[in-house]
Each structure stands twice: as C-alpha cells, then as structure tokens.
Structure 1
Amino acid sequence: MGCAVYLHVVSNETISPPRDRTRHTLLEDAYALVTGAWLIAFGLVLMKAAGLVTAGVAGLALLASYHVHMGVGLLFFLINIPFFLIGLMKLGRPFMLRTIIACGLIFIFAAITRNSLEIASIHPAFAALGGGTCAGFGLLALLRHKTGVGGVNIIAVWMQNSRGWSVGRMHMALDAAILLVALTSLDLAAFGWSVLSMVAINMILVAWHRPGRYTGH
C-alpha cells in the first residue's frame, strides 16, 4: 500500500498537464497572417483588373483607386486608420496589433502582385468569383487567428463578440451599403459583377466562420 501511494505521488509530480491543442502557435499565427494577407491582396488585384468594386474597406479602396492616382494597397491602409482606433478601444491591443500588421502586409503584397503580374484581359465573372473567393479565404484565415483587416471587419467582429451576431451576415449587410455607394460610379454590369464578388467573399465567412463549431478559434 505504501508503494502504491509513493507511485501515485511521483506520477502527479512528474507528468505535466497536456498542451492545449486548440491554441495556435506563434509560427501558425505568423503563417496565417502572411497567407491570409497574400490571398486578399491577390483577390484585390484580380478585381481591380476587371474594374470591379467589392466588399468592405477593400471595396472603398478599389472605388477610390479609380479616381485618385494611388495604389489600392495604400488606399486600403489609409482608409483603415480611423477604424484602427475604434478596434483598439473595443477589441484590444493584441487584436489591433495583428490587424495593423495584416493590413501592412496586404499593402506590400498588393504592390508586389501588381508589379509581378501583367493582366492583359480578364473576364469580370472570373475576377468576381476567383478574386472574391481568394479574398474570402484570406479573410477567413486571418479571423481564425484572431486578426482582422480593418473597417467593416472590425465592426463585424465587435458585434460578434458583444452581441453574438454572425460575422458573415454582418459583413453582408454593411457591404451592401458600400456597394450602393459604388453604384454612383459603376455601370450596371460592373455593379452586378461587384455584387457577385461581395457574395463570394461573405459566403466563405457564413459557411466557415462559426465560433464554437471549430477548435482552434
């Protein structure tokens, strides 16, 4: 009996608690930031090449890029600045630090992609579905690692955390308002393809961004 007690004590002292398998490592977070930012940047370049506007601040940046001589990546970063301040107050410093890094990477990767890829012709349906899907998966990768991309995304995550609202559906509603503004600058065909790109982005979030369904959130 004494031996059994001794073994029980030794086992409690030497066995460390299991690692939380739902937590991402620093390397996984870094890889998600790079991959997510690149997918968003690539999607933006495809949509800009077709003259489309899309969801969120990305859509505002694309819309502004048709009127001013600035890259879509730089505009994306500049428009996000006031939203960074809101996110800092409502979502905390770690979230906003990762978000600012992600936005900086989108700016860099959009410039690299634009200078590395010459698109002579692209069908707007391909740009809307392909670009929108790329951007949607990029956004999903960032959200799964507690990172945003500013603007509408910050508002949607805030509403999810405070009221339990769906990020995808919240995005859809806010993005629809942005596209209505874009209607003043786009013809009906471009507007229709832009709506398709917005749906492509947000359906990724509606389908796959559901807190509680997946581990590692």
Structure 2
Amino acid sequence: MNMTHTWLSILEGCLLAALGLHILNSAGFLISGTAGISFLILQFSDFTFGQIFFLLNIPFYVLAWQTLGWRFTVRTFLSVSLLSGLSELLRLYVQVEMNPILAATFGGMLVGFGLIILFRHNSSLGGLNILAVYLERKFNIHASKTTLVADLLVIACAFSVLEIGSLAFSFLAFLILSSIIGRYHKSPAASQPPVPVLQES
C-alpha cells in the first residue's frame, strides 16, 4: 500500500476521532476506552485531556511492540501523539454547543469511523484499542466485543463522577461506536488465514 495514502488515511482517522472526542468532552459525556479513563482522571487533575491521554498510553506500547509488531507500534504512537495534539488545538480554538442526543450520536459516530480507518491501516489509538487488536489477532475475539466490555467497565466507574442523564447519553455514544465497529470493521481472520502474532504486517 502506498505510504502517502496510508499516512493521509491515519491523519483522517485521527481528525475524525479527535472531533468526536471533543464533541463528547464538550457535552460532558464519558468517552470510550482509554479516552474514557482520561476523562475520569481529568475530573481530578490539572492536566488537560490530551496530556492525560498521551501519558496513559505509554505502558501499552510495550504490549504492542512485543505482540503486534514494530510497524503497528510506531503507527499507533504517532496516531496517539497526533490525536493528543489535535485535542489540544480543538480545546483552545473550537467551541461546541450541541443538543445532547446529537452530541452523543455524532460523537460516537465520528470516533467509531475514525477507529475503523486506523484499524484498516494497521494503527489504533492505543490503550484498550491495542488490547482489542491483540485479542482479535491472537484469539479471534472481534474488536467490537472487547471495546463494548471495556466501555461498560468505564461507565461503571463513572457513577461517582457523572449524573444519570450524562451517563445515559454516554451509553448511547458507546452503543453507536460499538455498532459502527461491529458492522464496518473486518476481522483479519475473516478475510485471510490467521497471521502469527509476532509476524510483521
């Protein structure tokens, strides 16, 4: 695959995901995966979302490097760095006011399609996405299942932080995101023979 096409696609995926996360964050809704954990920590920290998101992903690069290959790890590191930077720019220069249902819907859709683009170009947004890709490649557990379970655990931890209304809209965003990944993300095992975990792709 042409490298220019690959990196333009990764940029597009990060832009979609960053905008979706910004919409959800601006509405005060919980964000999925590692971003959701970052959102929870944000409530008790002086760091920004982009800074927390970048720092939380650092330990997961070890798992990615050892099990998913250096290409995936490098692309994921650059994707996470890019999304962190875009999140900072959006926080400073873009204000979003949106109906809660629309915020949950558009936020979940944008993050979902952003992740699809990244998955299809051997990248991710780190953290729980790395775990989802690892479980899919090694045990053929679809990424949408891992994502949904992780998101439900994040929601469970958020009851002490968010009101019921915000949790409900957050759950709507999670369902939309998981549905998009489930319908549009093709498992590698479904289209080709299993690839050894340590093999570079």
Q: TM-score scaled to structure 1, two decimals? A: 0.84
Partner residue in 1 for 2:173: 197
Partner residue in 1 for 2:24: 47
- Which of 103, 106, 112 pairs up with 2:80? 103
* SS of aligned partner of 2:125: coil
- Which of 105, 124, 131 pairs up with 2:107? 131
Unaligned 5+ segments in structure 1 are 1-23
Identity percentage over the alignment?
27
- Which of 63, 67, 71 pairs up with 1:86? 63
1:114 and 2:91 equivalent?
yes
Counterpart of 1:190, as a letter, is: S
Partner residue in 1 for 2:125: 149
1:162-181 map, 5 Å: 162-181=138-157
Q: How far does residue 199 in structure 1 lie from its aligned partner after superposition? A: 1.1
1:32 and 2:9 equivalent?
yes
Aligned Cα root-mean-square deviation (Å)? 1.7
* 1-structure distance, mates of 2:125, 2:187: 18
Partner residue in 2 for 1:6: none
After superposition, the C-alpha distances for 1:187-217 in whole angstroms (9 at most, x for unaligned) are 11111111111111111110011235679x9
Partner residue in 1 for 2:196: none
* 2-structure distance, mates of 1:192, 1:63: 16
Partner residue in 2 for 1:182: 158
After superposition, the C-alpha distances for 1:149-202 in whole angstroms (9 at most, x for unaligned) are 111111111111011111111111121111111122111111111111111111
User: Looking at CA atoms only, which structure, 1 or 2, has the larger radius of gyration?
Assistant: 1
* 1-structure distance, mates of 2:160, 2:64: 29
Contact 1:156 1:170 in 2 (8 A): yes
Counterpart of 1:181, as a letter, is: C
Q: TM-score scaled to structure 2, two decimals? A: 0.90
Partner residue in 1 for 2:198: none
Partner residue in 2 for 1:72: 49
* 2-structure distance, mates of 1:64, 1:97: 26
Aligned pairs, number: 192
* 2-structure distance, mates of 1:214, 1:43: 29
After superposition, the C-alpha distances for 1:19-77 in whole angstroms (9 at most, x for unaligned) are xxxxx210111011111111111111111111111210011112222221222111111
* 2-structure distance, mates of 1:150, 1:183: 25
Counterpart of 1:71, as a letter, is: T
* 2-structure distance, mates of 1:214, 1:198: 26
